[in-house]
Structure 1
Amino acid sequence: MKIQLENINSFITAAEQGSFSAAGRELKKTQAAVSLAIQNLEIDLGFQLFDRTNQYPRLTQKGEQLLRNAKLMMSHYNSFIESSKTIYTMNDVKIQIGVDPLVCGPDVIQIIRDFSEAFPNVELFLMQQSSALLAKEVHAKHLDLALGIFPFENKLNFEFTTAFHMNSSWVASPTYLNTKSDVISYHDFCQLRLLVPGNIDDLGLSEIKSASQLWHVEDIHTILSLCRTGMGISCLPDFVLKQDLELQRLRKISFSFNKLKNNYWKASLIWPKSTLLTPALMWLQKRLTDIDIL
């Protein structure tokens, strides 16, 4: 059975308009063309759709049931046509981006939510890895755009722009420092174990390499777990530390040899060299660079 959509459309219009002649005017066809289309549909289906014994055709019981199904089917068909038109005009069908968990704060999550509403037909592939691994994926052109903490020298290998700053703090478990003050001297600092994200070699302290033990740990949750159990001190973004500080599982510390009250990390965006961003990626770039401080 090969049923023509044009015949179904003629059937629906005739049923809604009340006559074949009115359906012809609506569809800009002759009455004879509408009548023939409906007759062909009846032949394809094997049953009568209209009772034609009166002046105006009247739906049979089977015709009434088919009308409901036909209108639902045509609704899906029209939606399919509109979606196809949208896809035809789209510059982006699928985009692949990477976000380092160290920079994936509430503002970034909200932007991703807004993206789903602004570009509902774009398929998004989101990778969460350390900045070092994301840079490799961008270089291999497996990612269209990446947000992370990238060294300034990456400007030579990628298209590069600064996105926003992040407040960060040094913390330790309440029991780790024992009787020590929350202000750590240089001597005490050199005796402590530092737990730092594996892709960050410099957290704004030139003395960081003076620590007796320096552990590079890729995963944020692992760093937090180690820090809570008193394995060392760490510096992480404030949005990552918020719950632990509120629950007093960790406390902020500072250093007598560092007069800066706050630590700032710079989040940056990179994408393949000599590549122009598509509209969806440009939207993401603008929104992410509009963030001031995370």
Structure 2
Amino acid sequence: MNLQAIEAFVLSHQLGSISAAAKHMQKNRAQLSQWISNLEIDWNVELFTRSGHKPVLSEQGLKMLPLCEQMLKAQNHLSQQVEQIAQQGCFRLNLGVSSFLQDSTVAKILSRFNHAYPNVDLKIFQRRDELLLNWQGPKLDLAICFYRDAFPNDYTIEPLCEMPLMAVCSATHPLTKEKSPNLQQVLSYTWVTILASSNTQVWDPDSIQRQIEVEQHSLAIELCRQGVGVFVGQQQQLIPYIKSGELKVIAHNDAIANEQLGLVYSKHASPNPTLQALIKMCKAEFNNESSA
């Protein structure tokens, strides 16, 4: 079906003549006249009466006009959607997120992204940082994670901000009675750590005499609250428990250390417009958090 012929029919009626429609479409009059005649042949209808100088809709033409107008609107809507999808550059993004990050922060970013790009599917992998930097699963388009000096050469890393990590224990833990415990004293107690986590920069995990390793930070924090052991976590996660008095920061000079948070993506391909938008939203959110 020739959509230009349908447009010629609708415009001839709206503009009052085939000549005006031809001028609007930047075609010659004879071509539009032939298109309209072909429509009449294909549909076995008469769209215009043949009397007078101006095109007058026949009874059949009156019935066909709204149908043709709807078809042209649908075609225009389809073109707009195709253009939007082409600008987005993708239909799906795989996003890696450090399990140290608060869910509420990640949810803010994803909520804004979902509002701006409702047609893009998201798959979120919440994992430990070293797993994201050495990812073996489905290709990640972007990872938001903590990193140090060493990371794979085929990745680009854009720093976001520094986040303090804290070594804490429960208010009833024996360490709270030590005013200035040395490193050996601190490491002599049980530690609750994230499985294979490298986020104990200040404290050497190999020197810790006993560890309880768990997958999720929520369980680690709960075990720490119950007095099971020492835990190193993101300051923002632990502040509510510190303010309530349930957890205490260990009285050691290195109990608070900064970790660098960054955006990690492949060097081999430039981020498409959709990914660029997500990166921009991440930067905006963490800039707000660091300035708060």
TM-score, reference length from structure 1: 0.71
Aligned to 2:257: 263
Shift of 1:14: 1.5
Aligned residues: 286
Aligned to 2:195: 198
Please tell me whether the aligned partners of residues 184 and 253 of structure 1 are also in contact (alpha carbons under 8 angstroms). no
Aligned to 2:271: 278
Aligned to 1:5: 3
Instruction: Say which SS state the counterpart of residue 133 (structure 1) adopts.
Output: helix
Please tell me whether the aligned partners of residues 51 and 59 of structure 1 are also in contact (alpha carbons under 8 angstroms). yes
**Higher mean displacement: 125-134 or 47-56:** 47-56
Aligned to 2:248: 253
2: CA distance, partners of 1:7 / 1:201: 67
In structure 2, relative to structure 1, the CA distance for the partners of 1:9 and 1:285 (3 Å cut) is: closer
1:41 maps to 2:14: no
Shift of 1:214: 1.4
One-letter identity of the residue aligned with 2:270:
L
Instruction: Say which SS state the counterpart of residue 154 (structure 1) adopts.
Output: coil
Instruction: Supply the RMSD in Å over aligned alpha carbons.
Output: 4.3
Structure 1 unaligned spans of 5+: none
Identity %: 21
1: CA distance, partners of 2:196 / 2:155: 17
Please tell me whether the aligned partners of residues 163 and 261 of structure 2 are also in contact (alpha carbons under 8 angstroms). yes
Aligned to 1:215: 212
Shift of 1:41: 1.8
Please tell me whether the aligned partners of residues 92 and 122 of structure 2 are also in contact (alpha carbons under 8 angstroms). yes
Please tell me whether the aligned partners of residues 168 and 231 of structure 2 are also in contact (alpha carbons under 8 angstroms). yes
In structure 2, relative to structure 1, the CA distance for the partners of 1:40 and 1:279 (3 Å cut) is: closer
Shift of 1:264: 1.9
Q: Deviations over 1:80-125 (max 9, x none)?
A: 3355456667776765442213236666555555656777887655
Q: Deviations over 1:61-87 (max 9, x none)?
A: 654454333333323323433554566
**Higher mean displacement: 116-125 or 62-71:** 116-125
Please tell me whether the aligned partners of residues 96 and 142 of structure 2 are also in contact (alpha carbons under 8 angstroms). yes
Shift of 1:9: 0.9
1: CA distance, partners of 2:62 / 2:221: 65
2: CA distance, partners of 1:144 / 1:223: 29
In structure 2, relative to structure 1, the CA distance for the partners of 1:288 and 1:86 (3 Å cut) is: closer
Aligned to 1:17: 15
Instruction: Say which SS state the counterpart of residue 153 (structure 1) adopts.
Output: coil
In structure 2, relative to structure 1, the CA distance for the partners of 1:77 and 1:104 (3 Å cut) is: farther
Shift of 1:56: 3.6
In structure 2, relative to structure 1, the CA distance for the partners of 1:197 and 1:67 (3 Å cut) is: farther
Please tell me whether the aligned partners of residues 91 and 278 of structure 1 are also in contact (alpha carbons under 8 angstroms). no
